[in-house]
Chain A
């Protein structure tokens, strides 16, 4: 009469952890080598085919000269990289402000009760208006429009108003991301917090928002990638940033390569952020599965 073995505390009653993940990992390992080989071969084939197609296009020699001109790349890259600092400064400032402002708007929009209706309405209006307009339009309107009002003491610097415009637009996007996060927190969390004696705002602050923010970090970073790219629109106001510099070089050289150079600069900075976002998403998923929340 052997005793019934005590259940392994690491396995949950449904047997979802441990065994299953070990099996999954094993499958990956066994299929790994072949999978990598197939992926490699198919990638090479696709690249070669695309390469042959492009190089044999009737316009390829001209495209190569006008878009992939090494001399022009070398000529334009230093200036473009230098002016890219303007973009970096702009998106660093904008992202910091957007992070706070977006959360503020989302919270205002989540305020409960009829008393707060006007505030909710304003938050909704903000999101609707600034998310509904093309960024370039908001920039042009602010950069040229506000100084035209000729208010005493109001700045007329185009970069200032350009950054303000980007903040307005992206705070609207980010507010919606935050709101999605807030609404994804189960109502029972709020109910539990209230039953512990927290006020509505207290519950929002100590229970709901912290969980919400953690969940929306990946989509938030996604919006920041968009924001970084949109700093290329700041040149509309006359400030010379990287895109405008590329345009200047393009016009001077009569060659599109400076645009390609700028594309490389942007990609160099957005790809690491993209990968980081992917990694965060994967980690978040891993955590949820590990704790059996899903």
Chain B
């Protein structure tokens, strides 16, 4: 989930708890074939009939999930439903081929505080820049049992079996690292149990160095796309709250020293748009030794080659230098500041999801 959606989810969950409302929470836990939504997508149905979110992109499949959610509310027992999407469903949902989705639906009420407590712990954990996962048992008599696994290895709760807890946590750790939610199968002596690993990571952050006009538009575009933004510059006249109203943080000082204090995890992108080697070089030296998911530098091809050559002469490995996107951005053909910002954001998103950087229609024609 993006920063706003995740924030909304936690907020609304807290509100439901506060108002003592009963809801049925539906989570997309597995997709086979093409699906328009990723595992972890949520929808809930309140006892008053209100609906929030979706597990597909609407249509008859969501309608069926709503019916099932109402039944879960009435029976107050969780259920896992498998929805084979027929060709007509697939067509309606915009899928290229039919597939199957699995949705886990569970009742939540203020009287059963554990899920609310777990989400509250997760929320504060994420706010401190760490990751975690909520594991839910999808099979057997302990269906719906939950275990909270935090990125530091600490756990709360149980899936109902000590061995299952250990094996599931082991399997979940790699998914936390990758930042993706998945259903995993855990083999126990006499049975296989499926567990949904719902991964929550700190919101992806764009660390933008250079409070330029490109940075101003980039910050505006980033928030609706689900990114937090940190703007860094040494010039207080440029890095002002008036110019960067939407920035989550505005940091003025020695840029290379500031960047060293920021989290450079795989979900974060470092975007150098100062167009100034005095910032670019020391920051690149540092971020190349980090696991930052994206590193981009504004500049012409010639300028980029100059920067890379300098870094290479300093002994940085060619493989490390390959990580630098310079010139920055996808080739959209635009030249204005908003167009450049759009090209940068497009490349960040494409890198994050392993996109092809081709237009979808082009891909269709090639297929």
| A pairs with B | no
